[in-house]
Amino acid sequence: MEQAETIVFRQMRAGDIAAVQAIEAECFTNPWSIQAFADEMKNPQAVTFVAESGGRICAFINARIVLDEVYINNIAVTMAWRGRGIGFALLGEFERALPEFVTFITLEVRAGNMPAQGLYRKSGYTQVGIRREFYTEPPEDAFLMTKYMEKNKEGERS
């Protein structure tokens, strides 16, 4: 990231839905609708964070918290912002904002999506399984990746 750029990480607001859905449509072959993101805002288990610069949304992450587990549905960075560390920073901010009781975070990633796999590995996720033919359009296996949340001696997450 250039030093002049200030990135703000925060929870998604209703006014962000169209921008988040536009990033979703840019990045995924089977994108969620505007209504799907509006429904997520009403779901008490759902959380969506955005990265914003200059009043524009440049990335988002959507997940569900179920008991002590977190399931990441989508994380995406608009093409114009890729390669600047936004995805890594957003994932880190998201993880730090999770409740203390969370024990692990898990997600699926396309077997051929090497940049995303690299991001997850750099963030401490490991491959724990394969879901055969999980994706369509085009058909592809998914790697199941998980990060176990551990606390250090001071009680903070590491």
Residue 2: per-residue pLDDT = 44
Cβ(150)–Cβ(100) below 8 Å:
no
From the list 40, 52, 120, 125, the catalytic residue is 120
* Distance in angstroms (rounded) separating the CA atoms of residues 158 and 142: 27
Report pLDDT for 40: 95
Closest alpha carbon to 94 in 128, 61, 129, 57: 61
Task: List per-residue pLDDT tens for the chain, 158 residues long.
Answer: 444 579 999 999 999 999 999 999 999 988 999 999 999 999 999 999 999 999 999 999 999 999 999 999 999 999 999 999 999 999 999 999 999 999 999 999 999 999 999 999 999 999 999 999 999 888 999 999 999 997 644 555 55
Q: Establish whether the linkage from the previous residue to 138 is cis, with ω within 30° of 0.
A: yes
Locate the DSSP E strands across 93-150: 104-110, 126-135, 140-148
C-alpha distances in Å from residue 70, one per residue of 41, 97, 98: 16, 12, 9
List the domains of the chain with CATH numbers: 8-148 (3.40.630.30)
Please tell me the predicted confidence (pLDDT) of residue 5: 76
pTM: 0.90
Q: Give alpha helix (H) positions in the chain.
A: 17-27, 34-42, 86-97, 114-122
Token output for 116: 């995303």
Choose the catalytic residue: 108, 125, 148, 156.
108
The reply to whether 120 belongs to the active site is yes
Residue 51: which of 105, 108, 94 has the closest Cα?
94
